Amino acid sequence: MATYHGNVTSMAPSGPETASAPVIRTIVLSDLHEALRRGWEDFKAVPSHAIILCIIYPVLGLVLARTVLGYSILPLLFPLAAGFALLGPFAAIGLYELSRRRERGEQPTAWDALDVLRSPSFGAMLGLGALLLALFVTWVATAQAIYIAAFGYEGASGISDFVTRVLTTRQGWWLIVVGCGVGFLFALVALCVSVVSFPIMLDRHAGAGDAMVTSLRVVARNPVPMAAWGLIVAVLLVAGSLPFFLGLAVVIPLLGHATWHLYRQTIEPELNPQPLPPRAHRERKPAADFPANLFPWRQK
């Protein structure tokens, strides 16, 4: 397993910890560049796999853009695009698995990414993913409410009319300031609870609660690098959204792989990792017993 040195220094927590509690490292801004570099190397090694996993995002972006234009809800196009930052940590769980396997010296395939579905903590990942989805829905609803507060229920007649409203009127300036401020708060919450949550659930099979607490500790220990990481994510997502979200086919896998390496830099590796318990043996039942095998108590 790869280890990190250089600017990364280990710092033990101030209070007593159990043997399994993760130890947080302090990092510097140059470590973010290293995480992105390693993420790019992973992407170059398995580009087709990453694109297959993430092609849904540019396709979804095109569908959303067409839907927005067709149903006159153009003001929601930007909030929907910005919402990728909220859902991205969960969407990249397959990419974490690919990076983990490359870290071990393996040559991962697309099927290896699906092994995350068999992780003992996959249920916890779904739970935290549902939380991020709820945060995304709340953000979109809030963005719509902000737009209605600024311009009322009258929709824009087209892109030029919408741009003119937003950039040349006092209501538009208010919309930009308030919308970006509220969006920043949503992104901050998502960053704090998920920056390393999914990687640690995949790597150590932690529960959702423990993973979120660890993410909060990472942000508290490294506020400046984590703020810079959030800014990097936001800038790359905006760049990837142009034109027509096609750039997300590269940006999403890059950030996914880089997040795994950021996790490795911020969390000390386990000294004595616990092996996974063997799977329980399931007795194979002949098809001739169907549907009787659905009611085992009737066979006693």
DSSP 201-217: HHHH---HHHHHHHHHH
Question: What residues contact residue 192 under an 8 Å CB cut-off, 6+ apart?
Answer: 215, 216, 219
Neighbours of 45 (CB within 10 A): 15
What's the confidence (pLDDT) of residue 50?
Answer: 58
Residue 117 is given by DSSP the state G
Identify residue 143 by its one-letter amino acid code. Answer: A
- Residue spans per domain, the chain: 26-271
Cis omega (within 30 of 0) on the bond before 291? yes
Residue 15 is given by DSSP the state S
Identify residue 76 by its one-letter amino acid code. Answer: L
DSSP lists the bridge partners of residue 10 as 25
Residues in the chain: 300
Contact by Cβ (8 Å): 8, 24: no
3 state SS of 230: helix
What's the confidence (pLDDT) of residue 16?
Answer: 38
What's the confidence (pLDDT) of residue 86?
Answer: 87
pLDDT tens per residue across all 300 residues of the chain: 444 544 444 444 444 344 467 899 999 999 999 999 999 999 888 876 556 556 666 666 656 666 655 555 667 777 877 777 888 899 889 889 989 999 988 888 767 878 888 889 999 999 999 999 999 999 989 998 998 898 887 766 677 877 888 888 898 899 999 998 999 999 999 999 999 999 999 999 999 999 999 999 999 999 999 999 999 998 888 887 776 677 777 888 899 999 999 999 999 987 765 554 444 444 555 545 544 544 544 444
3 state SS of 121: coil
pTM score: 0.76
What's the confidence (pLDDT) of residue 111?
Answer: 74
What's the confidence (pLDDT) of residue 218?
Answer: 96
Q: How crowded is the C-beta side of 199, counted as CA atoms within 13 Å? A: 29
Neighbours of 223 (CB within 10 A): 10
- Residue 267 φ then ψ, to 5°: -120, 130
In the numeric block, the tokens 């998920």 are attached to 194
Q: How far apart are CA 91 and CA 95, in angstroms?
A: 9
Identify residue 41 by its one-letter amino acid code. Answer: E
What's the confidence (pLDDT) of residue 87?
Answer: 86
| Residue 185: closest CA among 75, 85, 256 | 85
Angle at which helix 248-266 crosses helix 93-103, to 10 degrees, equals 60
What's the confidence (pLDDT) of residue 232?
Answer: 93
